[in-house]
Structure 1
């Protein structure tokens, strides 16, 4: 008998003995075990999603109301961010797939109700000196629709809900490029999503050290146009 079969037989024996012991020692009036958690529909294997034939990694996986799931996948990099793929599932079935318009690594998503539909803000790392946030609507009849986007000068981009309406907004990191990108002061800039568009609110102060991203809309003047 091979070593694998010996181990399997031993494990099975221990498991059986443990079950017998529990059955004998458990009190008759013992409370019933809690029901197991409801299983969530599995994400389709990345290789089954168009654009992920060579395999993809999962950047985020959002379970949304009405049996909707929104997943961000990154393709293998080839010396930089590769095209990323967004997958919109309804009832565990792929409803729509959207590839990024440019090579960009998808990072995060924040979603909330917009009427009866879900609106999501999605952040991307476009390169070492660039980022982007897109806002998009998920609908059963039209799939994933991008309605606006904003960009930043650094790979930092966040989709936190800044104004408390339950949907993701946009926070990006900007640079003065003075005298050059390396070592130049940077600052935060915020936008709130309103009716499918990003509305600029303002900027934070110039910084030579990176600070935490803001948790509310900024209203200061922007140091650099």
Structure 2
């Protein structure tokens, strides 16, 4: 029973964090303050009560509609909370130490925020990306892969420039991931991301896909592989 309560609290913490990050992404893309005004319905502008802001719970409780104007609330809001809670549980399972859990938590915050911004605006803000990457590099200490990152930056940078197949934000994120985890890890992440993008293309039918969400999923699949290999 104690373990179930612990897992529930971890899941709900991740869902709450994801809900906040989703709001931040929405406001950043619309060049609004992430602090004010308080949460409100985007259609009728009515401020929301605390019980309408409960992660995971409020969406089904309200029937997926605003309590005041009854407009349909985007399912992505609820999906983001479920994803956040699931990733929090995953991080808890795979992290071997407290420091590793801190690293994964910071990784989750950045990737989640960058993914939602990329979905809406197709951009990676340096003002968010650079402090996030610097924090992760500091936590990793001396194990930074400079040469591998330079190869990735030059190779994918040229590919993006001549083919227009990648955005500059994608190249920056891949370079940052290489600095953190090395060349082999980035190859695995990139392969996962490309496969996921190819699989989703027939469903989405978009001329340009936001690639950072796929890279983020590729990161978590890579860590899942590492965990399974260690477990086996």
TM-score interval, smaller chain: under 0.3
- Give the number of the structure with larger relative contact order, counting CA–CA contacts within 8 Å between residues 6 or more apart: 2
TM-score, reference length from structure 1: 0.24
Q: Which has the higher helix share?
A: 2
Which structure: greater strand fraction?
A: 1
Looking at CA atoms only, which structure, 1 or 2, has the larger radius of gyration?
1
Q: TM-score, normalised by structure 2?
A: 0.23
